[in-house]
Amino acid sequence: MTFFNFLKNSLFLVLFATISSLSFYVNAETSAEKERLEAFFKDLEAFTVVFSDIKQLYVDDVDNEELFNNAIKGMVSGLDPHSVYLEPKEQKELMESASGKFGGLGIVISKKDDGIQVISPIDDTPAYKAGIQAGDLIIKIGDKPVRGMTLEDGVDLMRGEPDTQVQITVLRENQKPFVVDITREIITIVSVKGHLLEENIGYVRVSSFQGPTAALLKETVAKLVKENGGYLESLILDLRNNPGGVLNGAVDVSNLFIDDAGLVVYTEGRIPSSNLKFKTKPGDILLGSPMVVLINEGSASASEIVAGALQDHKRAIVMGGTSFGKGSVQTIVELDKGYGLKVTTARYYTPSGRSIQAKGIVPDIELKNISLENEKEESIVDIKENDLNGHLKQENPNNMSEDEIIDAQEKNQASLDEKAIKKLKKDYFVHEATNLLKALTVLGK
């Protein structure tokens, strides 16, 4: 028996046995179902013919496992940009990313045409510090063009040991391609930061959604309330360039501010387990104080769920630009030998029934990306050695007491916070949100 016939017959037997076990399918006698079965076996025969031709004709001898893995990769990646067949190393890296600590540049990416598109840089990561922006198109990694490269191959090239450097060539709208050298780091995501912009107006930045994000956000708001000497009259929730994360994190964050019954989000797919409803849990930590949610084209997935939920429940005014539009749910399936499958199983819908997929969240008030800063002005963020994580500790030449040292550290932190607030006040989106909240507070009184 030739290899082709052996492979063909083996595959036919295995798949026929699998199909036969689904009696509800095989027992159906309609002509339409018979036609579907015949078409299925014709397609399978076409696959085995190509497989056999490659085995016999390709210039090098290719291992069967490699051919099957490549076939599966092609089958999965052809579905959509977010479905991926994961080799053991990739599966491990995905789990590391979900944990909130991993090595690399700190960008969330997606495949677009022949390039790799940046959905958003993660706050305070090498990519963020290097000036990488949402919407940038990576066209070369090192000396390797991205054209024809899989997303997984691109990720593999950009990841690496900490303190090693990678060079990427970036194409940005209305600019010529330019090269950026970035030094890899261990990426540890701090997902929530907050500041009291001025009396009664709080600002909270959420950079990603993880399991602890809602608890961190609640703690941050509590600190701002304490700093303010009483409840905040208004709050800015900044979700710009937030690439998403854990679904439950988004649901929990939404529930911190929604006080009425209903849904936060629901999903719909082909199988019953993909049809889920996530209900609200009344208990607004701001007691109804006005809110503005800031979004832009880098706000994706879980951040779109939060923006959509607060918008539909009339709990917040959404300002900025239309979000990315990643409204699909991916399920991770663990396979044998450490392999994995990340496959799209459902779509997200806001409480009012709007699909996020490929549409995004449209803001109530659209803002253009305008800078209020003077280009020639000296940088507000004046970083010195003692501001850097892991810097060598200063010796104590003046024999300061422990209390004096702590007091000096607190003053240094207060100085950094003051600089951050100054920078935020020159952020056009934050400036406009602040003015709106002031007007709403006056009207409310």
Catalytic (active-site) positions: 301, 312, 326
The 10 Å Cβ neighbour count of residue 91 is: 20
Identify which of 44, 48, 50 has the alpha carbon closest to the alpha carbon of residue 18: 44
Q: How far apart are CA 71 and CA 88, in angstroms?
A: 17
